[in-house]
């Protein structure tokens, strides 16, 4: 009798059910991007989530005050989270994009 064992770590993509994006990114940014991509694919909202991220990019480029607010290190984190959540609600983001950005 031959036994085939597959070694898998608890953090492997298979055990977490992560769907790999077509382009692999690394570091903290890459983990967030991969998680968002995986969530969008599973919920069949990839195009909508992409539009949300592009909308956020354009909003931050146009709204100088919001951009400065996001980058200001003197503003406490809980204040930024509350304000940013309000902005995402006004922009009518999908739940996947909102969860990633909270």
Give the pLDDT confidence score for residue 33 in this predicted structure. 85
Cα Rg of the chain, angstroms: 18
Owner of token pair 């989530």? 49
Alpha-carbon gap, residue 94 to 48, rounded angstroms: 7
- Quickly count: other Cβ atoms within 10 Å of residue 55's Cβ: 15
Owner of token pair 């406490």? 76
89: enclosing H helix or E strand: helix 77-90
How many residues are there in the chain? 102
Q: What is the pLDDT of residues 76-85, one digit of tens each?
A: 999 998 998 8
Q: What is the pLDDT of residues 20-41, one digit of tens each?
A: 777 888 899 888 888 888 888 8
Dihedral angle, C-alpha 34, 43, 86, 71, nearest 10 ° = 10
Cα 18 from chain centre? 13
Range with the poorest average pLDDT among 7-11, 15-19, 48-52, 87-91: 7-11
pLDDT band for 5, please (50, 70, 90 cuts).
low
């Amino acid at each position: 009798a031959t036994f085939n064992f597959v070694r898998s770590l608890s953090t492997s993509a298979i055990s977490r059910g992560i769907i790999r994006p077509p382009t692999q990114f690394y570091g903290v940014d890459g983990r967030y991007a991969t998680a968002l991509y995986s969530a969008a694919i599973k919920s069949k909202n990839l195009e909508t989530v992409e539009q949300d991220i592009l909308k956020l990019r354009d909003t931050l480029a146009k709204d100088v005050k919001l951009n400065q607010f996001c980058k200001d290190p003197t503003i406490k984190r809980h204040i930024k989270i509350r304000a940013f959540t309000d902005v995402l609600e006004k922009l009518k983001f999908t739940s996947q994009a909102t969860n990633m950005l909270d």
